[in-house]
Amino acid sequence: MHLFRQLLVFIFCVLLAYACQPKQPVKSTALSTEKKQVKESEKEEKKPTEQQTSVKKKTQYADVSLEYKVGQMIMMGINDRKLIEEKDALRGEISSGKTGGIIYFEKNINATYAKEMLKKMSLDLQALAKIPLFISIDEEGGKVHRLKEKYGMIRMPSAGYLGKLNNLDSTIFYNRQLAALMSEVGINLNFAPDVDLALNVNNPVIAKVERSFGADPVLVSAHAKACIKAHHEYGIKTVIKHFPGHGSSATDSHYGITDITKQWQFIELLPYKEVIRSGSCDAVMTAHIINCRLDTTCLPATLSKVIMTDILRGVLGFDGVIFSDDMQMHAISKSYGLENAIKLSILAGVDVLVFGNNVTQSYRTTATEIHAILMKLVRSGEISEARVNESFQRIMALKDKKFE
């Protein structure tokens, strides 16, 4: 009952904060068209045939083993690989269903023939998988830009630049170029756009490196939806981040605990609310931040059932895939232990655990190791098979998702 009252107050505060926001004009000849498309997409979502489609999908994957379902909940960085050798252990991990997703970083891009090599690696990886892989990248533009011009690819400005320009047509233009390139090289999931609000201009991981479109939730929401629209035109799924908001932080969770309890504001939820409401949200990535105002146990959001399930799913109504931020970031790895962090995050509501392997050799892990830990937790009853099935259904729905 106490939690129920907290949630009622929370909803009221969110709605009040939204109602009080100034509506900053967003320059775009496509804005009215976008609104019509959102309305049309909402109508499409209400078609009764969707339930029939859902039943068909569930039947299609009814014979998938528990081991394969658990593997779909794991996404791995592939260390420094730029191609997949014949005797590479990763081949066996993928073909045996130990992982359902791969994430690329700049270190996986060859200096010459970059597009051709990346495309070949994507094709080789997919050929090994019985269930199609998420082949993903963290590609926001600006400082977080992997597919660079120096590799014969493209220029991609930062979200900060696009937010200051504040022209939706420009945001769509650049993101169409990016999405077309990703489609060409076999990438089907992008961990973007970043919908954090630039509330702290000295934030070392968001505002100072121009990863946010701005501090106004209306502007950020509009540009995030434009970015997503451009990706969808090329069949690329997107992941908005970092829930419930990293923009007010003063420290970087890559290096340790980041507590935003005192400075976090309710308006940081508004871009999530709007993108989810619009029907364009494919997936959400967690933040490894502590916010004791939202969860009095003071667990990082990734490990918090209050934040992931009660707020993101319950209050904001999101029923899609939740990806963790990199589980090897120090905010998690140095404070909670590998097995405990895996258990808490899944119980919190996370569907896919991301291990980027952007760490020194001694701290790197494998899909086999993570899979073994998850199976141990399931067999012991600490994580139920029903919980695995929930994530599996969401993951497969996202993998099967098509855009018209």
Q: Active site residue: 88, 124, 252, 254, which one?
A: 254
Cβ atoms 160, 122 nearer than 8 A: no
Quick one: pLDDT at residue 106? 97
Taking the CA atoms of 376, 382, 387 and 389 in sequence, report the sign of the dihedral they define. Answer: positive
Q: How many CB atoms lie within 10 A of CB 293?
A: 13
Taking alpha carbons only, the member of 76, 131, 72, 126 closest to residue 104 is: 76
**Secondary-structure percent of the chain, ordered helix, strand, coil, rounded to 5:** 50, 10, 40
> Is the model's pLDDT at 92 over the cut of 80?
yes
Q: Which domains does the chain have, with CATH numbers?
A: 64-400 (3.20.20.300)
Give the pTM: 0.88
Taking alpha carbons only, the member of 298, 404, 323, 274 closest to residue 14 is: 274
Tokens of 51: 């339930």
How much is the average pLDDT of 369-386? 98
Quick one: pLDDT at residue 59? 53
pLDDT band at 245, cuts 50/70/90? very high
> Is the model's pLDDT at 387 over the cut of 60?
yes
Q: Has 2 been annotated as catalytic?
A: no
pLDDT band at 320, cuts 50/70/90? very high
Q: What confidence tens digit (pLDDT) does each residue in 18-75 have? A: 544 545 555 654 444 444 444 444 444 444 444 544 555 555 677 999 999 999 999 9
pLDDT band at 7, cuts 50/70/90? low
Q: Quick one: 354 exposed, middle or buried, by C-beta within 10 A (0-12, 13-18, 19+)?
A: buried
Cβ atoms 34, 168 nearer than 8 A: yes
DSSP string, 78-91: -TT-SS--TT-HHH
Residue 369 and residue 287: Cα distance in Å, rounded? 23
Residue 103 and residue 327: Cα distance in Å, rounded? 13
Q: Has 254 been annotated as catalytic?
A: yes
Taking the CA atoms of 80, 86, 89 and 95 in sequence, report the sign of the dihedral they define. Answer: positive
Q: How many CB atoms lie within 10 A of CB 175?
A: 28
Quick one: pLDDT at residue 253? 61
> Is the model's pLDDT at 205 over the cut of 50?
yes
Quick one: pLDDT at residue 9? 42
Q: Active site residue: 196, 216, 282, 325, which one?
A: 325
